[in-house]
Amino acid sequence: MANPMHDIEEEDGHRGGAWKVAYADFVTALMSLFIVLWLMTAAEPVRKAISSYFNDPRGRLHLKGTSHAGSGEALAVTRNNVGALKERLENAMRQLPEFRELGRYVLFSVTGEGLRIELQESSGGMFFEVGNSRPTRNGQVLFEALAVELSKLPNKLVIEGHTDARAYRGNGILGYTNWDLSFDRANMARRIMLASGLEESRVSEVRGFADRRPITGDPNESRNRRVSVVVTYNAG
């Protein structure tokens, strides 16, 4: 004999499950509405970042240097996003095993020209052998790593060389000077980066400033010997 109470309980149970599904659908729809309203008022970089994620959630296009639209156009350094890209480059460089030792000699700064990456020398020669343009192993590793990261950006690069004020002996017409050294180091950095995959067209200038732009109060201090890679701004 059927139990009428059992039938009533079973029917109530089915009704109880149905209202939970309906409530969940309502909450989901409400959340979607809030997200849409928030996106309508969000800044353009935020909307682009979210669009990029949903178009490429695994970051494959980003790893290839392409944009969220998949058009093959890499994300460029502009005055609006330079801070975020500065942080990204710093994080990428920190992944290098050598960076624990080298980190305090590598400085990232935002300037009116673009994102400046400076490799400053130690007294014993951190990135180049003292007095010449031959790179040390540390210099080779750092410039190769920069080439890999900067290849992901479409911006033009400027590479600068700087020296301290210590002069070479015998600076006659055929003598070697700090002007020669500063340019030769910048050009060596360019050569290493091109050999590491950077396109030649990306380098717009190679500059040598000798000791004319010191960054410390003592013109003979080793930190004035440096190579700077400037990622110049794109319009935007």
Per-residue pLDDT, 113: 94
Per-residue pLDDT, 35: 76
Residue at 84: amino acid letter: A
Q: Which of 49-53, 117-121, 187-191, 199-203 has the lowest mean pLDDT?
A: 49-53
The values of phi and psi at residue 35, to 5°, are -65, -45
Q: Place 14 in a pLDDT band, splitting at 50, 70 and 90.
A: low
Q: Three-class SS of residue 95?
A: coil
* pLDDT of 23 above 80: no
Which stretches does DSSP call E strand in 95-145?
A: 106-110, 114-120
Q: Which of 61-75, 133-147, 157-171, 180-194 has the lowest mean pLDDT?
A: 61-75
Average pLDDT on 6-30 reads 64
Q: Which of 17-31, 57-71, 130-144 has the lowest mean pLDDT?
A: 57-71
Q: Where are the domains of the chain?
A: 4-63, 82-232
Q: Place 3 in a pLDDT band, splitting at 50, 70 and 90.
A: low
**Is the Cβ–Cβ distance between 197 and 151 less than 8 Å?**
yes
CATH number of 82-232: 3.30.1330.60
pTM, whole model, 2 decimals?
A: 0.68
Average pLDDT, the chain: 81
Q: Place 43 in a pLDDT band, splitting at 50, 70 and 90.
A: low
The residue that leads in pLDDT, 194 or 23, is: 194
What does the chain come to in residues?
236
**Is the Cβ–Cβ distance between 234 and 113 less than 8 Å?**
no
Q: Three-class SS of residue 37?
A: helix
Q: Tokens for 23, please give them.
A: 């409530």
Per-residue pLDDT, 223: 94
d(C-alpha 236, C-alpha 227), whole Å? 27
Q: Tokens for 16, please give them.
A: 């109880």
User: Mind listing the pLDDT tens digit for each residue in 59-114?
Assistant: 433 433 433 333 344 578 888 889 988 998 888 888 888 777 788 899 999 999 99
d(C-alpha 195, C-alpha 44), whole Å? 37
CA atoms within 13 A on the CB side of 7: 4
* pLDDT of 229 above 80: yes
Average pLDDT on 153-176 reads 91
d(C-alpha 136, C-alpha 132), whole Å? 11
Residue at 171: amino acid letter: N
Residue at 230: amino acid letter: V
